Amino acid sequence: MVAADATALAFMDLRQGVPGHVLVIPRRHAENLYELADEEADAVMRLTRRVALALRDAFGAEGLNLWQSNGRVAGQEVFHFHLHVQPRRAGDGLLRVYPHGVPAPTAAAELAAMATAVRHHLAG
């Protein structure tokens, strides 16, 4: 155990992608992000920030990756919400989000249409 509070826990990942790889989870079972209560999401992010600051200092991290997957199609393998916190250093060999390079920019009209769809669903 690295850290804990009433709502969330942080512990070392058994599979260290890079030294210092930590997982942060809610105490209550929630399969994925969609099932977290707002208070749990807040608590997980607050604890994640504390862990990130500690990793920066403990491992001399030059950067940090946060990642989380929802559903099998997104690569979720453990069906309890968890947020990966990985301290990064130049040349650490960990893959990038876009292993083949950053995608070309999307057309403004297409971005606007996507933003409209998201806003519609946020409005409920």
Query: How do residues 18-52 score in pLDDT, each as one tens digit?
Result: 999 999 999 999 999 999 999 999 999 999 999 99
Instruction: Measure CA 107 to chain center.
Output: 27
Is 120 a residue of the active site? no
- Give the architecture (CATH level 2) of 3-98: 2-Layer Sandwich (3.30)
Q: Where are the domains of the chain?
A: 3-98
In this predicted structure, what is the pLDDT of residue 56? 96
Query: Could you tell me the sign of the dihedral formed by the alpha carbons of 65, 69, 75, 76, in that order?
Result: positive
On the question of pLDDT at 76 being above 80, the answer is yes
Global pTM? 0.89
pLDDT > 90? residue 97? no
pLDDT of residue 70: 95
The active-site residue, picked from 29, 80, 82, 120, is 82
